[in-house]
Chains A and B, each alone.
Chain A
């Protein structure tokens, strides 16, 4: 075969295969069509889930919960006592928050959340878990060496501060209530929500400031 033709055949071959989805994508398509055929899932539910978790449901919901707790002592008390009900009040009750506990950071306590087993996470108020939360490195080291892990996130915890690590399960998930930043007294609830970072609600961020940070 002349060299030109061989090159052309290779190009056509590559072109053809470049449109073929990956093995994982094909397996997902196969599974979805089988489940739909058997009436076990509704394709509209899957599409709606993907759209919601890609575009809409994220840590802004958690930030709203935190800002409300900072602004309203009664709400905070309710949130600490019965988080699912308090979160439901803001319209965010989801499946992953049905059993949720809020743990509060103070001057002497820092809370850190992990799921050592897999990736249990309150995704209906924080969105899909970040890649590092699902990584084996974080899952295995957060309990063993929380201060070391925090240092890698740029968070240095004074020795006088107790670090409490909470291991999430499918039955019980956690949300950290970070401390309200100094100098934020005059801010509205919306402005306060803008100061909350996703990581501060997991515990890999601690000292929020009234000027920077927030979920962008």
Chain B
């Protein structure tokens, strides 16, 4: 059996009945984290330590033990490590988030949303 045969078996999306991701942003956040580890912005161990810390804090704060909480921690960790290891700071993230929000609100439904 070749790798190609395995690929052809069945789609992963039905594995164990769970969707792989609940929302697309979760996949994009993980993709960015993996990509930045590969690009050596930060190491896999630094990622694991920071994510572990975020999960510990979430649990201590009484956040629900859910997949959503997990991915919110992934996003927080990503923002923190990017701020620590690049020229992109918290202020730039907040500003760009606002730009995207305005772009969504000012774009008619059905039209592609783009930053001005």
- Please pick, from B24, B35, B45, the residue contacting A170 in the complex, using a CB distance under 8 A: B45
* Contact A26 B71, CB 8 Å, known A118-B52, A128-B30: no
- Please pick, from B44, B45, B49, B71, the residue contacting A24 in the complex, using a CB distance under 8 A: B71
Number of A-B contacts (CB under 8 A): 194
Distance, CA A183 to CA B45, complexed state (A): 43
Contacts of A95 in B (CB 8 A): 34, 37-38, 44
- Please pick, from A21, A34, A128, A134, the residue contacting B20 in the complex, using a CB distance under 8 A: A128
> Interface stretch among A2-10, A38-46, A77-85, A101-109?
A38-46
Contacts of A190 in B (CB 8 A): 1, 5
Distance, CA A61 to CA B25, complexed state (A): 25
Contacts of A46 in B (CB 8 A): 28, 31-32, 35
Distance, CA A50 to CA B11, complexed state (A): 14
Question: Is A56 in the interface zone, CB < 8 Å from B?
Answer: yes
Whether B97 lies near A27 (C-beta < 8 A) is yes
- Please pick, from A33, A120, A136, A171, the residue contacting B65 in the complex, using a CB distance under 8 A: A136
Contacts of A34 in B (CB 8 A): 82, 88, 92-93, 96
- Please pick, from B15, B51, B93, B101, the residue contacting A127 in the complex, using a CB distance under 8 A: B15
Which size class do B's interface residues fall under? 35 or more
Whether A189 lies near B1 (C-beta < 8 A) is yes
Contacts of B96 in A (CB 8 A): 29-31, 33-34
Whether B25 lies near A21 (C-beta < 8 A) is yes
Distance, CA A118 to CA B34, complexed state (A): 15
Contacts of A130 in B (CB 8 A): 16, 18
Whether A171 lies near B75 (C-beta < 8 A) is no
Question: Is A67 in the interface zone, CB < 8 Å from B?
Answer: yes
Contacts of A212 in B (CB 8 A): none
* Contact A53 B27, CB 8 Å, known A40-B41, A60-B12, A136-B59: yes
Distance, CA A137 to CA B70, complexed state (A): 12
Whether B92 lies near A41 (C-beta < 8 A) is no
* Contact A135 B65, CB 8 Å, known A49-B31, A95-B34: yes
- Please pick, from A57, A60, A137, the residue contacting B9 in the complex, using a CB distance under 8 A: A60
Could you list some 29 contacts between A and B, CB below 8 A? A19-B104, A21-B25, A24-B23, A27-B93, A31-B82, A31-B88, A34-B82, A35-B88, A40-B39, A46-B28, A46-B32, A49-B34, A50-B31, A56-B12, A57-B12, A58-B20, A64-B6, A95-B38, A117-B48, A118-B48, A131-B66, A135-B65, A136-B65, A170-B43, A170-B45, A171-B44, A198-B15, A215-B15, A215-B16
* Other A-B pairs, 8, CB within 8 Å; known A115-B48, A189-B1: A21-B104, A30-B100, A32-B28, A41-B32, A54-B13, A57-B12, A58-B20, A60-B7
